[in-house]
Structure 1
Amino acid sequence: MTGSERVLARVVFPTDGDLDVLPLYVDGQQVPVATEGGAAVVPVTYDQNPDQVLGRRSYSLGHGQRASFATYFNAFPAGYWRRWSVLAGVRLRVRTSGDGTLMVYRSSARGAVARVTSRSLSGSADEWVTLPLNAFGDGGWYWFDLVAGRGDLVLEQADWVSGDLRPEAEEPPHGSVTVGITTFNRPAYCTALLEQLGSAQELHGVVDEVLVVDQGTQPVRDDAGFDAASAALGSRLRVVEQGNLGGSGGFARAMLETLDVGRSDHVLLLDDDVVCEPEGVARAVTFADFARTPTVVGGHMFSMYERSVLHAFAERVAPWQFRWAPAAATQHDHDLSESNLRSTPWLHRRASADYNGWWMCLIPTTVLRDVGLSLPVFIKWDDAEFGLRAAAAGYSTVSLPGAAVWHVPWTDKDDSVDWQAYFHARNRFVAALLHTPFEHGGRMVRESLAIQLKHLMAMQYSAAHLRERALLDVLEGPDGLHSSLGTTLAEVRAARAAFDDARVATDPTSFAQVRPGKPRRRDPSTGKPVGQLATLVTAALGMARQLTPVSESSRRRPEREVPAVDAGWWTLSRLDSALVSTTDGTGVSWHRRDRAQVLAATRRATAVHQRLLREWPRLAAEYRAALPELVGVDAWRKTLDLPLPDHGDEP
């Protein structure tokens, strides 16, 4: 069946001259094409110069130069469109001026490359190539290369355009989206994102509204860049202010406002501190339009600090442990400037995701009406829980290549030991009680006890305390989730402040001077134990050491300084006192061993985890019975103190 022509993805370029991101758009290096069976060398290409970027859609090549668009943002992820969309084929349109050659390639799910066709170019050319999708069941991409002839060759514009529909398919809708941004005291980041969205021509006619949910004490409206951002978006910008209810409360407001207004087909959730590729927003909306069934469409995350590093590709929840993990056969932190698409076989295999992080995630309003809004948990696990809930209702999540943002990577912070430790622990258990297929949570309870003991051995008593409080709150059941949404953060911060390890100083000299004790036979920072036996032995010795008396001198002065990279439990369990650097390097805290506290906390940890195992079936039944109300529109409207929408005289 032939449908109306739609642009699925535009070939675009960065116009700011950033050499770090250029490899994500155009590839100019000679590279091996790696496959499972070996490697071959592609024809020589040349290093690219940002001056070759003539504009957002245009690129130039000098005499004899070759450029490949087998790149993250400009290749076409055929395997994803084959699996999830109503398309039977796609067409490539390439407009050029000058003499040269157009070559179109495809890859298999294993990363094997084959040339599809080659066309000679002369003068002003407008080439169309029709490409079927039937052979991409497990993955694979299409892309094209250009080679300049005797003179310059200019790519004026290129697009991936819809081809024939599947015989049973209906004409896809032209959907639109409301962009929901939750912000808390990041006005400069937020206004920069707003201006980026407002200036993107490809989003005109796609974005109905950009809704900023401002939960901070530094209003976005007061930022110096707000007027420019407001001018760029015009009437499409709306800012609402509310108390700090975390990401789940802010994004629930965006979801609810989208449903109440009733204009958009989708809501796109964005973090406030991301740098966005606007073309990815348009692609996500178009992909959702062409999906066979209503589908959650997520974007990938690149590192804000290493701009060519693909930090998160596709995510899953490992069911037995119930923890986050990369999707099967994928990796975190892949640098595309070192190993590009053609050289990375795993990128060619279609990845299946359980959920997508809400740094960039499009959700059809159809899905919201069916499964509800965000779980009221402030932060952590709300995105994963939503993906699992949607899947249980029959809605898939697709993490779509070519749609992405740049965001601060989680490897540059360790929020599992600060105030967020409470939300990590509580919300993981809540999500597991709602969705695990295992009667007593699989390995999760046992693993949680091990985490608690590691915190105690590492003298991270504040994190251990917050985790204990979190598990006790889980045992109280689901009734308090909505009512505590606006108060828990302050309570958690106050509780944490009572512990030495939570007091961070930017200057190490704020603490007593380090005075090493008697040298040990073995350096405490000899590295993480390798292998299960070594880990068990190290843990047993570490726990046994907690029973020994604490030296008086270590109470008065730290024994040593421990950089964050060495501050694992296997190191800190051998010390009585240490100055420990924060993961981001901005400060240090004084960790001091407290034998009595460890013994009491260990007894309590054992008891609370035994209760969780024993009461798991009852708790799971309670949380699952309460879920429809917890995520329902009425409950959120009450928590947000919002009236019913006014639809005039509509029946």
Structure 2
Amino acid sequence: MSTTPATTPAGTDTATGTVTRLLQRQILPLDRDTDVFPLYVDLEEAKLDTDRHDVGGDKAAKDLNNAAIRQSTSTGRKLHPDQIRSRTALRLEPSQLLSFGTYFNAFPASYWRRHTVVDAVELTVDVTGPGSVVTVYKSMARGHSQRVDAATVEGDSGSFTFALDLKPFVDGGWYWYDVVAGDDGATVDGARWTAEVPADRAEHGTVDVCITTMLPDMSARLLGQLGDTEELQPYLDTVMVMDQGKDKVTESEYFPAAKAGLGDKLRVIVQGNLGGSGGYARGQLESVRKGTATYAMMMDDDVVCEPEGIIRAVTFGDLAKRPTIVGGHMFNLYSRAQLHSFGEIVQPWRFWWQTRLDGYSQWDFGARNLRSSRWLHKRADVDFNGWFMCLIPRVVLEEVGLSLPVFIKWDDSEFGLRAKQAGYPTVSFPGAAVWHIPWTDKNDGLDWQSYFHHRNRIIAALLHSPYERGGRMVRESLNHQIKHLASLQYSTAELRHLAMEDVLRGPHALHGELATKLPEINAFRKQWSDAQLHADRDDLPEVRRKKPPKKGKSDIEIPGRKATLVAAALAPLRQLRPVRPMAEQYPETELPAMDASWYNLVKYDSAVVSMNDGTSVALYQRDPAHYRDLLKRTLDIHRRFHREWPQLAQQYRDALAEITSPEAWEKTFAPWTDAEERR
């Protein structure tokens, strides 16, 4: 440890041919929102959970441990907003102890160790306040921490530099620092993590930020956030907004401020609604054709961004051993300390995206901090990163192609798998993140999006499944289809069936359908009452039934495993029985979204069901004739998929390079690019 200042980020060592680059700096919340404080600073103690190897393989013990891991360890200690003095400076009260071992301020050593040319770092912490102590810690992959070094402010202030090796982090682990204030309090004026890197890595890259939008106000506020961040400006090449909505972002009341902040770096591209994949592909195409930015970053429009994360992602990409996709994490916009997932994979047998097998979703850092969460210390290796925030090197786009033309859903995960196959890894990088509306508040598994979920999952499996017939893909599709049928969700079942029929039409139909498929399926699904949404419950009849529920059983109780299996076996058969008297005129029950699971829905011949987003209700009605017809079609098409899977997979794989090429996308964009040229 040294008390001399670290080499400046612009410093060059001519003897060794290296330069010093800033990897990460201490940051504090932009808006002083107390909900996000646990992501930046931590006042709680570390209470590490039990090692899973100590728990063993007993299912009951594992279930108990998983429940314990979710329990809050927070004591409710709070940091006062006034203690945040600036973006980088924090004031501590006398004798106060706090940790910077947090999501945004701990250093993710294992990710740098695994994926970059960096093999050692220097941490410099600037502290004002006599008697204040800085202590540096590291953790290992199994979560336990070790004290590394410490320093004490002997005068009024001190600048302490700690040399830190990355060798012990092959499987996981972090570095961080804690500060204890002296008797007169302290101010942590700043901290920075730097590294000596080869001279050819001296210059940072630049990024084209690609935002696809139909939400003018939210996207304009995001643009304003990007334009207001002074430190970010040198990293921005172009900020492209693919405006696909009826209401234009340029008409938002927030747009003039965004335009003033970004100036000539802002470009608004107007085109028809081609979905997320069409919007992002346009940004990718423009970035590749322009050729001036090192990276293109896909970013959702309905997010709040941590701008420092863009800088960190670019820096990590600059120093990666090979071109690497660098993804950010997603936090819940409404519960801002809650992390959606720390790293996602595509499970190859089921071919479904999910949080990695030894991780947890919906993790609340306000309840259990980073230092107390053992699983967060193992490096999370991923297959892809969601395009709510994802940095893609331009050279990767040039080699593997642009987005798959699938409108929405699975475009990001398919791209990650395609890039991985070509030798380009994806890293979901801690310390880079956005806040986004959580998936749980949407109805995308049942509404019009169910078509794209199902079609695109099958296409992605045809392209990338390592199994001859897609593993469990076809069987699971059949199970889900029967579940929707038995749950009276006929519009969803019909959309999923249509999705499978469209897959059989082959890959070359995808581009032509981008602009037309959404209105087609919206018109198609409105034939069924479960797709006809009512904002006012009184639009639908009151609940009436001839006989009361059997034994007065409640829909609130969740059935056990045996009861669930019995219900699953009997539900398809029950749908063949005649509809009960009165059920055609009156719903038999009302089910809130949280209780509208299949094992409840299968009990009824009609029901009023509320949607997950809380805005509307729909009437579910059983139709035995429709059920029999769709069940027959369902069995037939799944037999066909099982039979023809190998040939269909080869057809899609042979066409992949063509349908994701810039040339194919240029033809799709021609109606709007030609109009742009005429203007």
Please state if 1:126 is matched with 2:155: no
Q: Percent identity?
A: 49
Cα distance in structure 1, aligned partners of 2:233 and 2:449? 38
Cα distance in structure 1, aligned partners of 2:307 and 2:480? 40
**Residue of structure 2 equivalent to 1:160:** 193
Question: Aligned with 2:183: secondary structure?
Answer: strand
Give the 3 Å change call, closer, same or farther, for CA 371–528 of structure 1 in structure 2.
farther
**Residue of structure 1 equivalent to 2:9:** none
Please state if 1:269 is matched with 2:298: yes
- State whether residues 41 and 101 of structure 2, in contact with CA within 8 Å, keep that contact through their aligned partners in structure 1: yes
Alignment of 1:128-277 (within 5 A): 128-163=161-196, 171=201, 173-184=203-214, 186-277=215-306
Cα distance in structure 2, aligned partners of 1:31 and 1:132? 23
**Residue of structure 2 equivalent to 1:59:** 90
**Alignment-mate amino acid for residue 456 of structure 1:** L
**Alignment-mate amino acid for residue 204 of structure 2:** H
**Alignment-mate amino acid for residue 542 of structure 2:** Q
Alignment of 1:627-638 (within 5 A): 627-638=656-667
Cα distance in structure 1, aligned partners of 2:201 and 2:587? 70
**Residue of structure 1 equivalent to 2:11:** none
- State whether residues 344 and 353 of structure 2, in contact with CA within 8 Å, keep that contact through their aligned partners in structure 1: yes
Cα distance in structure 2, aligned partners of 1:467 and 1:136? 45
Cα distance in structure 2, aligned partners of 1:351 and 1:58? 30
- State whether residues 109 and 136 of structure 1, in contact with CA within 8 Å, keep that contact through their aligned partners in structure 2: yes
How far apart are 1:3 and its partner, in Å?
2.5
**Between Structure 1 and Structure 2, how many residues are aligned?**
636
How far apart are 1:387 and its partner, in Å?
0.3
Question: Aligned with 2:79: secondary structure?
Answer: coil
Cα distance in structure 1, aligned partners of 2:324 and 2:50? 31
- State whether residues 22 and 50 of structure 1, in contact with CA within 8 Å, keep that contact through their aligned partners in structure 2: no
Cα distance in structure 1, aligned partners of 2:149 and 2:669? 57
**Alignment-mate amino acid for residue 26 of structure 1:** V
Cα distance in structure 2, aligned partners of 1:529 and 1:612? 33
Give the 3 Å change call, closer, same or farther, for CA 627–67 of structure 1 in structure 2.
same
Cα distance in structure 1, aligned partners of 2:440 and 2:369? 22
Question: Aligned with 1:554: secondary structure?
Answer: coil
- State whether residues 44 and 369 of structure 2, in contact with CA within 8 Å, keep that contact through their aligned partners in structure 1: no
How far apart are 1:569 and its partner, in Å?
1.2
How far apart are 1:240 and its partner, in Å?
0.7
Given the alignment, which residue of 373, 376, 380 partners 2:409? 380
Cα distance in structure 2, aligned partners of 1:286 and 1:530? 50
Cα distance in structure 1, aligned partners of 2:640 and 2:556? 37
**Alignment-mate amino acid for residue 122 of structure 2:** R
How far apart are 1:20 and its partner, in Å?
0.5
How far apart are 1:172 and its partner, in Å?
5.7
- State whether residues 524 and 575 of structure 1, in contact with CA within 8 Å, keep that contact through their aligned partners in structure 2: no
- State whether residues 93 and 181 of structure 2, in contact with CA within 8 Å, keep that contact through their aligned partners in structure 1: yes
How far apart are 1:520 and its partner, in Å?
2.8
**Residue of structure 1 equivalent to 2:121:** 90
Cα distance in structure 2, aligned partners of 1:14 and 1:164? 29
- State whether residues 323 and 396 of structure 2, in contact with CA within 8 Å, keep that contact through their aligned partners in structure 1: yes
Cα distance in structure 2, aligned partners of 1:524 and 1:539? 18
**Residue of structure 2 equivalent to 1:591:** 620
**Residue of structure 1 equivalent to 2:499:** 470
How far apart are 1:455 and its partner, in Å?
0.6
**Residue of structure 2 equivalent to 1:578:** 607
Cα distance in structure 2, aligned partners of 1:620 and 1:132? 47
**Residue of structure 2 equivalent to 1:557:** 586
Please state if 1:301 is matched with 2:316: no
**Residue of structure 2 equivalent to 1:114:** 146
- State whether residues 269 and 361 of structure 1, in contact with CA within 8 Å, keep that contact through their aligned partners in structure 2: yes
Give deviations 1:20-58, integer Å, cap 9, x for gaps.
Answer: 00110001123424462799xx9x996321110001011
**Residue of structure 1 equivalent to 2:65:** none
Alignment of 1:433-512 (within 5 A): 433-512=462-541
TM-score by length of 2: 0.91
How far apart are 1:487 and its partner, in Å?
0.4
How far apart are 1:511 and its partner, in Å?
0.5
- State whether residues 2 and 163 of structure 1, in contact with CA within 8 Å, keep that contact through their aligned partners in structure 2: no
**Residue of structure 2 equivalent to 1:105:** 137
- State whether residues 106 and 140 of structure 1, in contact with CA within 8 Å, keep that contact through their aligned partners in structure 2: yes
Given the alignment, which residue of 349, 359, 366 partners 2:388? 359
How far apart are 1:7 and its partner, in Å?
1.0
Cα distance in structure 2, aligned partners of 1:281 and 1:323? 28
TM-score by length of 1: 0.95
Question: Aligned with 1:439: secondary structure?
Answer: coil
How far apart are 1:150 and its partner, in Å?
1.7
**Alignment-mate amino acid for residue 249 of structure 2:** V
**Alignment-mate amino acid for residue 177 of structure 1:** V
- State whether residues 8 and 287 of structure 1, in contact with CA within 8 Å, keep that contact through their aligned partners in structure 2: yes
Question: Aligned with 1:243: secondary structure?
Answer: coil
**Residue of structure 2 equivalent to 1:649:** none
Cα distance in structure 2, aligned partners of 1:530 and 1:403? 41
**Residue of structure 1 equivalent to 2:631:** 602
How far apart are 1:368 and its partner, in Å?
0.3
How far apart are 1:539 and its partner, in Å?
1.3
- State whether residues 21 and 202 of structure 2, in contact with CA within 8 Å, keep that contact through their aligned partners in structure 1: no
- State whether residues 72 and 401 of structure 1, in contact with CA within 8 Å, keep that contact through their aligned partners in structure 2: yes
Gaps of 5+ in 1: 645-651
Please state if 1:48 is matched with 2:79: yes
Cα distance in structure 2, aligned partners of 1:612 and 1:34? 46
Question: Aligned with 1:128: secondary structure?
Answer: strand
Alignment of 1:350-429 (within 5 A): 350-429=379-458
Give deviations 1:298-337, integer Å, cap 9, x for gaps.
Answer: 0000001100001122111000000111113111001001
**Residue of structure 1 equivalent to 2:351:** 322
- State whether residues 90 and 164 of structure 1, in contact with CA within 8 Å, keep that contact through their aligned partners in structure 2: no
How far apart are 1:152 and its partner, in Å?
2.3
Question: Aligned with 1:428: secondary structure?
Answer: helix
Return 289-298 or 121-130, whichever deviates more. Answer: 121-130
Given the alignment, which residue of 21, 31, 45 partners 1:30? 45
Question: Aligned with 2:477: secondary structure?
Answer: helix
**Alignment-mate amino acid for residue 96 of structure 1:** V
Cα distance in structure 1, aligned partners of 2:557 and 2:382? 33
Give deviations 1:481-510, integer Å, cap 9, x for gaps.
Answer: 001111000100000111111111111110
How far apart are 1:163 and its partner, in Å?
3.7
> Which ranges of 4 or more aligned residues in structure 1 deviate by more than 6 Å?
none
Cα distance in structure 2, aligned partners of 1:517 and 1:398? 58
Give the 3 Å change call, closer, same or farther, for CA 558–540 of structure 1 in structure 2.
same
Return 364-373 or 150-159, whichever deviates more. Answer: 150-159
**Alignment-mate amino acid for residue 28 of structure 2:** F
Give the 3 Å change call, closer, same or farther, for CA 163–103 of structure 1 in structure 2.
farther
Return 369-378 or 633-642, whichever deviates more. Answer: 633-642
How far apart are 1:2 and its partner, in Å?
6.3
Cα distance in structure 2, aligned partners of 1:409 and 1:83? 30
Return 120-129 or 477-486, whichever deviates more. Answer: 120-129
**Residue of structure 2 equivalent to 1:344:** 373
Please state if 1:21 is matched with 2:54: no
Cα distance in structure 2, aligned partners of 1:435 and 1:7? 38
